[in-house]
Structure 1
Amino acid sequence: MAKASSYLFKIASHPQEFEQIFRLNHETFAEEIPQHEKNEQGLLVDAYHEHNTYIIALKEKEVIGMISLADNRPFSLDKKLGDIGDYLPNQMNIHRLCEIRLLSVKGKYRKTKVFIGLLRMLHHVFKEKGYEGAVISGILREEKLYRHIGFIPFAHQVGSAGAIYQPMYITKDHILLTEKLLPSPVSFLPGPVRVSEEILQTLGRQAFSHRDAAFMELIRRVQASLTQMTQANFVQIMIGTGTLANDAVAAQLALLKGKGLVLSNGEFGERLVNRAKRYQLQCRIVRKTWGEPFTETELAAELDSEIDWIWYVHCETSTGTVNEIERITRMIGGKPIKQAVDCISTIGALPVDLKNVYLATGVSGKGTESISGLAFVFHNHEIQPNEHIPPYLDLGLYYLHDSVPYTHSSSLLSALEQALTKDFTKKYSDVANMYAYTYKRLTDSQFELLPKEQQHSSPIISILLDKQISSVEIGEWMRRQGYYLHYQSSYLQERNWIQISMLGNVSLAEILDMLDLFESMCLYLRNLQDEITEALLD
């Protein structure tokens, strides 16, 4: 395992953490600041403990710093002053306030990054809960620091000798100003992905009509870039998501007379199966366990003379398993079997060759690193309109009208054109290198992964966490540290999986930093669970 992060910051949630909080509370507010009486146990449980959210700083397994917040009235300041609403400015929304208390950092860590780390976590929690402001009882000796952060004194001082406090408040605007001081979050989500400033700037330009000659020139340039990238003859660009693109494909498959084959080895394969049922496609369904690749023997047995078309997902987003187009093309051989392929998680992330494919789908907001909202359907044959297909799904109408049968978006197309100037040959190499490094490192650290066998490349790695670690807990923890991993989809939470996606604009250096933190967090949580198990056995 790589080096552990120096400090970890999290929301306290385990009994061992709370016991250390009580000890640090006693050490600070009974021994150092004589606000409470000392006791032999060395534990001080805060009077508002049941309502407190504690942000803690950890050095290995030791709680070395903390800060708490609560939004249940009355606050401790209400008890010292009376209703604090009588003292606060009228513009403060008294119903969306929290009280920040119990700021404490152990002595030898007070000139380190611990305080800044606590404030960063506080910033994230403040935003999550939608607070409009906060109040504190600021110890007098640190009043200058609080003012520097943005706190403003109100009301008279409270407390007793040795523990005098100045009531202070801060507004949401001041809290959110600290966002400029925070590192930019890094997204390892499969979408939406982080986009460049140049792409964001295109959205600030005035939109122009989809009937202008300039618009038609724009969409032709974008189509040329996409077909050059994929070796397809044509691409239709629709306003919508990958779901729309796959619905348009299903509508075309429904026109074919022969029987089809739908492959499923994950969530998005199952969505193709569901779509096939909705469109009443005549087909066989072949399922594998999630993450299991289809073997050549299995494919050879299924691709018989009865099959006219096959529909599958190129990269199964729910697992990271790649169903290789080249291998399936080779298995088809000279048979007149048409391939329909969901390439939503591979176009722009892996080399994709569609010259032997009947229909394929993609989107703007994943591997191409543009803004979400455009759906692609690639094809190599001319498509005629069909009155049995709903107009918005009729690829023939798009083909007949140069991909603009209806209102379109110059803003999204301009953003996509900018995104397509990227050197994707280099990106394919970068994704392969990041995948290989991440897969080996996590495997060496004893994590169970999908794909089960290391492929040449995949833009997605799934981590199958053991029961000691909650995917939701680790995902929330990472998010508050500025790393967005994929854990919120129901199909991942049901299995306690978490994913790292390299579809977007990420670097190997960012992966190194993220993995340092991820492994440290997992090690910490495993150690906590081991302690609980040992205590139960004792």
Structure 2
Amino acid sequence: MNSYKLLTPGPLTTTGSVKEEMLFDRCTWDNDYKIITQKIRAKLLELAGAGKEEYTTVLMPGSGTFAVEAVMNTAISDQDKVLILTNGAYGERIVKMAQYIGLAFREYSVAYNEVPDEEEIRMILKEDPDITHVVMVHCETTTGILNPIEMISKLSKEFGKTLIIDAMSSFGGMGISVPDLGIDYLISSANKCIQGVPGFGFVIAKIDKLIACEGNSRSLSLDLYDQWKEMNKDGKWRYTSPTHAVAAFAKALDELDEEGGIPARFSRYQNNNRILRERLKEAGFETYLSEEKQSPIITAFRFPNEDFNFEHFYTYVKERGYVLYPGKLTDEPTFRIGNIGDIHEEDIEEVCAIIETYMGVVKI
């Protein structure tokens, strides 16, 4: 088996001990396994700063996209209307979900290198009182832009809207207080900043909002309410769950604590990102985003010149132990480098040295 590290936004490089948890086969009906599920649910609430009296956690099999669609399918009824804020491919995917489900929606879109404007959103909410829900991607991994979660939280509270946050690439790697921000549904995935493996997503939901969703779902498998109702009894999933991914995630949560929690992980990611941007700038790569809009999760870099061959560059770096990420439909040629997962300063220094060699940069 080839050995390399993933500099991607998930799936990502996991620790050996997380991988080892997947060597044991578990039964979905077994009490020990249900205890693991309940441990995960409780720990995720703790990381969100949310109390179990007001909030709950629902685990949904599939990729993060399945969990997002479960929320859109369940939380928004035929009588509701959702405002979808977009500045990247993942926000646009939510628009596509709304179209498939048949939801009433309005899209507010800005350029991929811009963040939503507060006054423009305020104007939309004033002129369109039919809007009941607002949804936004926190960290758009299309570019790595970090969207203003505090601003949209304030507006949602001001206008009394249900707030849905896709925190796929930020939760666990950045501090997010769900109650303080008034988030009604926060969605993330096992294979992002908590550093598990792909297989399921999760939703941290306000209990009263979720209870009110009974009967909304147009899908059996994506019925978030029904999944919660079953899982809330004793931890049993409704249908076959990704047992290996669940066990690995439980171990990843332990390792997050061992690292020092979210503040320590954020500090590591931020340091990785700083070194990466500084050294690649010296090697001739400009970032797609300005520094104040950049998340510590993933960075989009412009091609250095018209002759730059990404496939050749990608293969060169991969052969030396690191896998990068292509661009994602930006308005100009880009590629991306993630710095989440079991990636540390020495890894970033090494990949930067590989790229400098490729670019012919001579260090004095």
TM-score of the pair, normalised by structure 2: 0.86
Q: Which of 1 and 2 has greater Rg?
A: 1
1:78-111: per-residue Cα shift (whole Å, max 9, x none)? xxxxxxxxxxxxxxxxxxxxxxxxxxxxxxxxxx
CA gap of 1:387–1:381, structure 2 versus 1, over 3 A, is: closer
Q: Which of 278, 281, 302 is residue 464 of structure 1 equivalent to?
A: 302
CA gap of 1:463–1:330, structure 2 versus 1, over 3 A, is: same
Stretch of structure 1 that moved more, 463-472 or 264-273:
463-472
Aligned partner of 1:433 in structure 2 is 271
Equivalent-residue separation in structure 2 for 1:426 and 1:519 (angstroms): 29
Equivalent-residue separation in structure 2 for 1:352 and 1:218 (angstroms): 24
Equivalent-residue separation in structure 2 for 1:453 and 1:272 (angstroms): 27
Q: Which of 252, 258, 269 is residue 419 of structure 1 equivalent to?
A: 252
Aligned partner of 1:511 in structure 2 is 348
The reply to whether residue 296 of structure 1 matches residue 118 of structure 2 is yes
Contact 2:138–2:170, Cα closer than 8 Å, also in 1: yes
Q: Which of 391, 395, 398 is residue 220 of structure 2 equivalent to?
A: 391
Contact 1:262–1:283, Cα closer than 8 Å, also in 2: yes
Contact 2:89–2:329, Cα closer than 8 Å, also in 1: yes
Say what the alpha-carbon RMSD is for the aligned residues.
Answer: 2.2
Aligned partner of 1:369 in structure 2 is 195
Deviation at 1:429, TM superposition (A): 1.1
1:164-216: per-residue Cα shift (whole Å, max 9, x none)? xxxxxxxxxxxx7xx6xxxx5221011211111111111111312x2222222
Q: Which runs of 5 or more residues in structure 1 are unaligned? A: 1-175, 525-538
CA gap of 1:520–1:295, structure 2 versus 1, over 3 A, is: farther
Equivalent-residue separation in structure 2 for 1:230 and 1:338 (angstroms): 18
The reply to whether residue 216 of structure 1 matches residue 38 of structure 2 is no
Equivalent-residue separation in structure 1 for 2:175 and 2:291 (angstroms): 20
Aligned partner of 1:475 in structure 2 is 314
Task: Specify the code of the residue in structure 1 equivalent to 2:356.
Answer: E
Task: Specify the code of the residue in structure 1 equivalent to 2:42.
Answer: A
Q: Secondary structure at the match of 1:435?
A: helix
CA gap of 1:366–1:429, structure 2 versus 1, over 3 A, is: same
CA gap of 1:402–1:388, structure 2 versus 1, over 3 A, is: closer
Equivalent-residue separation in structure 1 for 2:175 and 2:294 (angstroms): 12
Contact 2:58–2:202, Cα closer than 8 Å, also in 1: yes
Q: Which of 439, 445, 448 is residue 286 of structure 2 equivalent to?
A: 448
Q: Secondary structure at the match of 2:106?
A: strand
Task: Specify the code of the residue in structure 2 equivalent to 1:340.
Answer: I
Identity %: 22
Aligned partner of 2:243 in structure 1 is 410
TM-score of the pair, normalised by structure 1: 0.59
Instruction: Tell which has more relative contact order, 1 or 2 (C-alpha 8 A, sep 6+).
Output: 2
Equivalent-residue separation in structure 1 for 2:216 and 2:138 (angstroms): 30
Equivalent-residue separation in structure 2 for 1:346 and 1:449 (angstroms): 20
Equivalent-residue separation in structure 1 for 2:29 and 2:66 (angstroms): 23
Aligned partner of 1:313 in structure 2 is 137
CA gap of 1:426–1:396, structure 2 versus 1, over 3 A, is: same
1:272-323: per-residue Cα shift (whole Å, max 9, x none)? 1111111222121111111211232333333326232111111101100011
The reply to whether residue 261 of structure 1 matches residue 90 of structure 2 is no
CA gap of 1:463–1:379, structure 2 versus 1, over 3 A, is: same
Deviation at 1:486, TM superposition (A): 0.5
Equivalent-residue separation in structure 2 for 1:259 and 1:389 (angstroms): 16
Deviation at 1:445, TM superposition (A): 4.6
Contact 1:262–1:273, Cα closer than 8 Å, also in 2: yes
CA gap of 1:409–1:456, structure 2 versus 1, over 3 A, is: closer
Contact 2:8–2:298, Cα closer than 8 Å, also in 1: no
Contact 1:461–1:499, Cα closer than 8 Å, also in 2: yes
Contact 1:354–1:360, Cα closer than 8 Å, also in 2: yes
Q: Which of 161, 176, 181 is residue 352 of structure 1 equivalent to?
A: 176
Count of equivalent residues: 340
Equivalent-residue separation in structure 2 for 1:490 and 1:293 (angstroms): 17
CA gap of 1:260–1:450, structure 2 versus 1, over 3 A, is: same
Contact 2:81–2:132, Cα closer than 8 Å, also in 1: yes
CA gap of 1:329–1:290, structure 2 versus 1, over 3 A, is: same
Equivalent-residue separation in structure 1 for 2:119 and 2:351 (angstroms): 39
Matches within 5 A, 1:117-128: none
Equivalent-residue separation in structure 2 for 1:185 and 1:498 (angstroms): 18
Task: Specify the code of the residue in structure 2 equivalent to 1:521.
Answer: Y
Q: Secondary structure at the match of 2:146?
A: coil
Q: Which of 273, 282, 296 is residue 95 of structure 2 equivalent to?
A: 273
Deviation at 1:256, TM superposition (A): 6.1
Q: Secondary structure at the match of 2:139?
A: coil
Matches within 5 A, 1:126-165: none
Aligned partner of 2:69 in structure 1 is 247
Contact 1:188–1:485, Cα closer than 8 Å, also in 2: yes
Q: Which of 218, 225, 228 is residue 43 of structure 2 equivalent to?
A: 225
Contact 2:134–2:156, Cα closer than 8 Å, also in 1: no
Contact 2:73–2:217, Cα closer than 8 Å, also in 1: no
